[in-house]
A = this chain, B = another copy of it.
């Protein structure tokens, strides 16, 4: 197989949802826009819809014939891109399995285990190497440096420098900057989640990422914003992995975020710095606690 058609399958599934809500589909370019794919893919989807007798398609007319059934959808396993699959497998291995620092990583073995070609694994490792968890020996293997205490400390050190600076920039953003509106929306989400924390605490990870990314973006510095990728991936998998006291930890973090948001709103740099420091410190502690 040369290329997975995951783009097609994922867009197909999303298009099925659109189809469920209307009696006739819009033009090809418009669909492409909405689904974020090219017209080639849109046309492939429409052809398949026609085959499945979901629509009657004649040039500009795309009339819906019937509602989609559950078995019209492609199974979700088939809609993930190869890169996502590799990332998940790899993170599971290094976080859960025997992740001793110094271990060698073998491209071929990884590829076989994941059931994919070496090229994709190799490209993943190259991309992943910027996270500082692995290192390449040219013409030879990769070395796992491990998710160690040092790693966490180095990561949080930089994170704190960057986030403090970003928060300082944030407070001085002009009032008509769209970030303020976004901050307000995020605040609302925080309050909603906190009101129903027992049921919703698992959703915190995503909101956490959204909030901190917004803060980092205020730096207008691509290196600072890009660095947030590293933090996000570490915390993302960290949340999946370490579930002890999750409810309580997340509730506390939500409270801290709210204080932090309020401080940003005050436009007072000193208040913002203080709230930021307080939250970052507890985030750091949480992370460190999870490392043996």
A interface residues, Cβ below 8 angstroms from B: 7, 119, 122-123, 126-127, 130, 132, 139, 151, 154-155, 157-158, 161, 165, 220-224, 226-227, 230
Q: Which residues on the B side are within 8 Å of A223 (C-beta)? A: 132, 154-155, 157-158, 227, 230
Query: By the criterion CB–CB under 8 Å, are A158 and B221 in contact?
Result: yes
Most B CB within 10 A of own CB, among A123, A222, A223: A223
Is the contact region of chain A dominated by helix, strand, or loop, or is it mixed? helix
Given contacts A126-B127, A154-B224, A161-B161, 11 further A-B contacts (CB under 8 A): A7-B139, A119-B119, A122-B123, A130-B226, A132-B222, A132-B223, A132-B226, A154-B221, A154-B223, A155-B223, A223-B227
Q: Which residues on the B side are within 8 Å of A139 (C-beta)? A: 7
What is the minimal beta-carbon distance from A135 to any residue of chain B, in angstroms? 9
Cα of A212 to Cα of B115 in the assembled complex, Å: 44
Q: Which residues on the B side are within 8 Å of A151 (C-beta)? A: 222
Cα of A119 to Cα of B119 in the assembled complex, Å: 8
Q: Which residues on the B side are within 8 Å of A126 (C-beta)? A: 123, 126-127
What is the minimal beta-carbon distance from A229 to any residue of chain B, in angstroms? 10
What is the minimal beta-carbon distance from A208 to any residue of chain B, in angstroms? 20
Closest to A129 in B: B127
A/B interface sample: 13 pairs, CB < 8 A? A7-B139, A119-B119, A123-B123, A123-B126, A126-B126, A130-B130, A132-B226, A151-B222, A154-B222, A154-B223, A155-B223, A157-B223, A161-B165
Closest to A83 in B: B138
Cα of A119 to Cα of B155 in the assembled complex, Å: 32
Closest to A126 in B: B126
What is the minimal beta-carbon distance from A45 to any residue of chain B, in angstroms? 15
Q: Which 8 A-B pairs have the closest CB atoms?
A: A154-B221, A158-B223, A132-B222, A130-B130, A126-B126, A154-B222, A126-B127, A161-B161
Closest to A81 in B: B138
Query: By the criterion CB–CB under 8 Å, are A157 and B7 in contact?
Result: no
The answer to whether residues A224 and B127 also contact, given A7-B139, A119-B119, A139-B7 and a CB cut-off of 8 A, is: no
Query: By the criterion CB–CB under 8 Å, are B119 and A158 in contact?
Result: no
Q: Which residues on the B side are within 8 Å of A157 (C-beta)? A: 221, 223
Q: Which residues on the B side are within 8 Å of A7 (C-beta)? A: 139
Closest to A230 in B: B223
